[in-house]
């Protein structure tokens, strides 16, 4: 029985990582589509969200099956509960990538305008956080998870910076209002992707150490 559940835990981890890889790709493609104004790529990101949704339901069903059949305790139980939450956050990240892709499609219709340069840096930081939080899941690494939590501040600051740049842009070029607001939405979505990576990092800490650290800044 014990060995059987170990095997199930490994299989569940693999499934989550497959989902994580899909989500990472969707985010990365949505950012590439933004930078290159590539509406075809944006369309593909939007279409790929269905696959992400399907996998999320599959992972959840797997978690429920494990709870029902193996009645895990201690570390295994924490893993399954963390998996339920990580799964949910990954799906939300996928939605955010889809939202970015939607804005990229809309951007092609309005007055052309430059991206604030900070948005690329911010997107890279957020993507790095997503990569690291997934690594923290695979390696059950709470110190990497703590690092992800710390990185979130930089992304929040970048977002405020971009917000100011966009307000200035609207004042200087009111004819670009719609597209500047779309870019503002994109930066908001990137900020939320980083928030989801932070959530996942906090779930890894809980999974390994059994401690619920969210809502605690000093940890």
Q: Which residues bind a second copy (CB under 8 A)?
A: 50, 53-54, 56-57, 60-61, 63-64, 67-68, 71, 73-74, 77-78, 81, 84-85, 88, 167, 170-171, 174, 177-178, 181, 212, 214-215
Give the distance from CA 136 to its chain's centroid: 14
User: E-strand spans in the chain?
Assistant: none
Nearer to a second copy (CB atom), residue 26 or residue 170: 170
Nearest approach in angstroms of CB 104 to a second copy is: 18
Nearest approach in angstroms of CB 51 to a second copy is: 11
Nearest approach in angstroms of CB 25 to a second copy is: 19
Nearer to a second copy (CB atom), residue 127 or residue 207: 207
Long-range CB contacts (< 8 A, 24+ apart) of 123-128? 123/31, 123/34, 123/190, 125/151, 125/154, 125/155, 125/158, 125/194, 126/27, 126/155, 126/190, 126/191, 126/193, 126/194, 126/197, 127/24, 127/27, 127/28, 127/31
Phi-psi region of 71 (alpha: psi -120 to 50; beta: other; left: phi over 0): left
Nearest approach in angstroms of CB 36 to a second copy is: 27
Nearer to a second copy (CB atom), residue 144 or residue 181: 181
3-class DSSP state of 132: helix
Q: Say if residue 2 is exposed, middle or buried (CB neighbours under 10 Å; 0-12, 13-18, 19+).
A: exposed
Nearer to a second copy (CB atom), residue 89 or residue 141: 89
Nearer to a second copy (CB atom), residue 4 or residue 54: 54
Kindly give, in sequence order, each residue whose CB lies less than 8 Å from that of residue 32, ignoring residues fewer than 6 positions away. 38, 41
Nearest approach in angstroms of CB 77 to a second copy is: 6
d(CA 206, CA 78): 7
d(CA 65, CA 130): 27
Nearer to a second copy (CB atom), residue 13 or residue 214: 214
Nearest approach in angstroms of CB 165 to a second copy is: 14
């Amino acid at each position: 029985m014990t060995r059987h559940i170990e095997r199930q835990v490994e299989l569940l981890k693999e499934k989550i990582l497959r989902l994580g890889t899909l989500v990472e790709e969707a985010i990365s493609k949505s950012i590439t589509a933004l930078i290159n104004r590539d509406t075809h790529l944006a369309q593909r990101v939007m279409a790929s969200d269905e696959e992400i949704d399907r996998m999320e339901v599959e992972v959840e069903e797997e978690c429920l099956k494990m709870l029902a059949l193996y009645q895990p305790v201690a570390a295994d139980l924490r893993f399954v509960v963390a998996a339920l939450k990580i799964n949910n956050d990954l799906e939300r990240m996928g939605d955010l990538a889809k939202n970015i892709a939607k804005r990229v499609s809309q951007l092609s219709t309005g007055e052309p305008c430059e991206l604030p340069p900070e948005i690329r840096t911010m997107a890279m930081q957020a993507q790095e956080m997503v990569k690291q939080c997934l690594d923290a899941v695979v390696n059950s690494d709470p110190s990497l998870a703590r690092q992800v939590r710390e990185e979130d501040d930089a992304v929040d600051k970048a977002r405020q910076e971009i917000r100011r740049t966009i307000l200035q842009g609207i004042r200087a070029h009111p004819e670009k209002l719609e597209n500047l607001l779309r870019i503002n939405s994109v930066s908001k979505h990137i900020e939320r992707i980083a928030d989801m990576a932070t959530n996942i990092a906090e779930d890894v800490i809980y999974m390994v150490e059994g401690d619920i650290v969210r809502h605690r800044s000093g940890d």
